[in-house]
Amino acid sequence: MTAVEARIPVRVMVTDVWDQIPLAVAPTTTVAELKRQALTEALKRDGIPLRDYVVKFRGAQVLDEGTTLAALGAGPNSPFIVLPARRQPVR
């Protein structure tokens, strides 16, 4: 018998498309992997420069993207925000 890793649902707001992306991820998923999955699904393309985006959790930027979701204390339906690292000009 094989063990199946439990998955938790999280919500990721990607500000480039102003849409929430629901993802089911393992608690051992890193923030970098969560960011990659959310951007790929939201922008519908691969090869996105991940260093151009940051992730926020509970209002603060996650500085170490190697941290797992479990280490952050993320539970079911935890909200994350993925936004550009540089501010966008407004006209």
Cα–Cα distance, 24 to 47 (Å, whole number):
22
CATH class of the domain comprising 8-84:
alpha beta
The owner of tokens 């959790």 is: 57
Q: HSE-up of 22 (CA within 13 Å, CB side)?
A: 5
Global pTM reads 0.87
Q: Which of 58, 5, 4, 54 is nearest to 27 (CA)?
A: 5
Q: What tens digit of pLDDT does each residue of 13-24 get? A: 999 999 999 999
Pick out the chain residues at pLDDT < 50: 1
What residue segments make up the domains of the chain, in order of their start? Answer: 8-84
Q: What tens digit of pLDDT does each residue of 31-44 get? A: 999 999 999 999 99
